[in-house]
Amino acid sequence: MKNQQIARIFDEIAEFLELRGENVFRIRAYRRAAQNIDGLPKDVGSMSDDEIEAVPGIGKDLAGKIHEYLTTGRISKHEELMKTIPGGVIDLLRIPGMGPKKAMMLYEKLGVKGTEELEKAIREGRLAGLPGIQKKTEENILRGISALEGGKERRSLGRVLPLAEEIVRQMQENAPVEQIIVAGSIRRMKETVRDIDILTTSKRPEEVMEAFVKLPHVSRVLAQGPTKSSVLTEEGVQVDLRVVEDGSFGAALAYFTGSKEHNIRLREMAVRKRLKINEYGIFEEPGEKKIGGRKETDVYRALGLPYIPPELREDAGEIDAALGGKLPRLLELSDIRGDLHVHTRASDGSHDLDTVVKAAIGHGYEYIAITDHTKGLGVAHGLDEERLTEEIRLIDEANTKLKGFRILKGTEIDIRSDGRLDLADYVLTGLDIVVASIHSGFNQSSEQITRRLLSAIRHPCVSVIGHPTGRLIGERGAYAVDMDAVLREAAKHGVAMEINAYPLRLDLNDRHVRLAKEYAVPLVISTDTHVRNQFDFMTYGVSVARRGWLEKKDVLNTLPYEKLIKKLRSCRTGKARHREKKG
């Protein structure tokens, strides 16, 4: 999809403008446009001019630049600015967390012109004494360089899944395919993936291969054969397509979905049953008589197992659970009744309250929580006590006009560096939900970060901890935190932990989700929506929940409105009593 390339170019234009000291509002306009284009679930290349201009933050000027890229593969404004910025600075800006001013300072003071030279300079101690550079800064830069290099191998699921789905759609329209499905780590919904594996059946495989290598996304054909071909997309992602026989499709799907470790366990079980299982089918040993493989369920049935959902296939206890009849009944997207982390134009969202509500109703939701930022996050135009009080009034007024849908009064409150919240309690007590999040001080020690989160959890008004590790996949690593201590405290006080479904966050990750379930910590899955189309991101949050073995009963926003409100309020009431006793 073109969205990512256009968003990257707009971000770079913003950085170049900042280096040149140009208008701050123009810089913000490009950054907002980048965020909103990157957050579209639909390929901008398939949108009409009117649809593009309707995207928040995209007027005629930026729509024109998008159209220029779609027709020429370039944006002249971007190329003009690039000529005014030293190439070495541009290379440094690719490092996650590297701001324009720091990149320029390192270039001017040290003459470094890329990641290799910068890494060498850090190892040699040449950054010591430079303005704003501390030991922690050097460590963060090294982590950023490592993340940049790692990003060349693995990409976030949210970047690759839409591309995979688009390729499948185009193959269905342009090739004589029958069954077709994405396999590999994408089907297991891993948070990062290396490439795309697609399986299909067809009576005319060579025509399928010919259509595949001519797809518009293809930049280079790596290999082309009668039943298997590999291409490289414009985004640099390798895509492998295999045509298999109908009678082997299920076995091939199981084999190419993986994981490797899961498959090894299955093959070990097969050997003990005098069977052989591979991508071609299920065979009795000796003699190799084929006894199954048309359906994926054949593989598990032959081993005396119930079907194991792809998200669980990591050899992380799922086979033993299946043998013991203890597989979880995994959460479904349809179980989600509402979104509990949504922003409006009052802070840094793109729409007014009415637009957001209509979008949520269109998704079939029963409720949403409006959780605009608080005053501590100035860059997001956060609300102070007076503005939040006014927003509460507007929500109360809106609720009187709604039927079958409710708006929860909430906020995403900033956890300060010392652990305090940045709004007075008298405002928070009038809310239905308080999501507390860290938005600064990411480089603090594990002890400091953990102490901040524990303090927020103990506050009687906090309902949820938002994006608990602060990571941005491929851009910023998680901050150091004792998650075990945080989850134990959350369980003690009944505070929910968020699975933030924004594709670059997916925070909590699946490992922490499973640990939270073990500790009986309540969880919520929210999209952190800033643009109405981002409600579609819920599917990513549900995939994390499924990989973390969650069932419907483990997630608060599967509850109907009245039960949810009681649950959120009981959490706050219980903590208030605890605080009174402690006092």
Find out whether the peptide bond into 96 is cis, omega within 30 degrees of 0.
Answer: no
Domain boundaries, the chain: 1-81, 86-152, 155-243, 248-323, 335-582
pLDDT score of 572: 59
- Beta-carbon count within 10 A of 572 CB: 23
Q: Hey, what are 495's tokens?
A: 């505070």
Q: Which residue has the tokens 């369980």?
A: 491
Extract the tokens encoding 198. Answer: 């697609």
DSSP track, 225-291: -SSEEEEEETTS-EEEEEE--GGGHHHHHHHHH--HHHHHHHHHHHHHTTEEEETTEEEETTTTEEE
CA distances from 340 to 72, 114, 425, 444, 489 (A): 41, 42, 20, 28, 21
Record the tokens describing residue 353, joined without a space.
Answer: 């309250």
Cα–Cα distance measured from residue 153 to residue 213, given in angstroms and rounded to the nearest whole number: 22
Per the omega criterion (within 30 degrees of 0), is the bond before 347 cis?
Answer: no
- Contact status, residue 349 vs residue 371, Cβ threshold 8 Å: no
Q: What are phi and psi of 331, to 5 degrees?
A: -55, 145
Intra-chain end-to-end CA distance of the chain, in Å = 56
CA 113 to CA 351: how far, in whole Å?
41
Find the largest Cα–Cα distance for the chain. 79
Q: What are phi and psi of 171, to 5 degrees?
A: -65, -40
- Strand pairing of 523-526 and 228-233? unpaired
What's the pTM value of the predicted model, to 2 decimals? 0.85
- Positive/negative CA dihedral, 278, 283, 289, 292: negative
Spatial separation of the C-alpha atoms in residues 38 and 44, rounded to whole Å:
9
Task: Tell me the C-alpha distance between 422 and 209, whole Å.
Answer: 58
- Give yes or no on whether 1-81 and 155-243 have one common fold: no
* Neighbouring residues of 169: CB distance < 8 A, sequence distance ≥ 6: none
Segments in the chain below pLDDT 70:
1, 41, 147-153, 569-583
- Report the SS3 class of residue 500: strand
Is 86-152 a domain of CATH 1.10.150.20?
A: yes
Buried b (16+ CB within 10 A) or exposed e, 343-367: bbbbbbbbbebeebbebbeeeebbb
Residue 263 tokens, joined? 């498959």
User: How far apart (Å, rounded) are the C-alpha atoms in residues 572 and 184?
Assistant: 43
| 248-323 maps to CATH 3.40.50.2300 | no
| Joined tokens for residue 462 | 């906090």
CATH fold for domain 1-81? DNA polymerase; domain 1 (1.10.150)
How far is the C-alpha of 464 from the C-alpha of 468, rounded, in Å? 10
CA distance 37 to 442: 26
The span from the CA of 1 to the CA of 164, in Å, is 10
Q: Which CATH superfamily is domain 155-243 in?
A: Beta Polymerase, domain 2 (3.30.460.10)
Strand (E) positions, 154-217?
A: 155-156, 180-182, 192-193, 196-200
| Assigned superfamily of 335-582 | Metal-dependent hydrolases (3.20.20.140)
DSSP 155: E
| Distance between CA atoms of residues 167 and 349, nearest Å | 31
Give me the sign of the Cα torsion angle 557, 560, 566, 570: negative
The pLDDT of residue 581: 43
- Cα within 13 Å of Cα(276), Cβ side: 11
Cα distances (Å, whole numbers) of residue 187 to 102, 104, 322 = 40, 42, 20
Tokens representing residue 230 in the block: 């590999």
Whole-angstrom Cα Rg for the chain: 26
For 483, phi and psi rounded to 5 degrees?
-65, -30
Which residue reads 């509002």 in tokens?
Answer: 25
Q: What pLDDT is recorded for position 384?
A: 95
Closest to 514 measured CA to CA, from 487, 481, 485: 487
What is the pLDDT, as a whole number, of residue 582? Answer: 44
Pick the closest to residue 413 from 350, 371, 359 (CA basis): 371
What 3 state SS string does 366-411 have? CEEEECCEECCCHHHCCECHHHHHHHHHHHHHHHCCCCCCEEEEEE
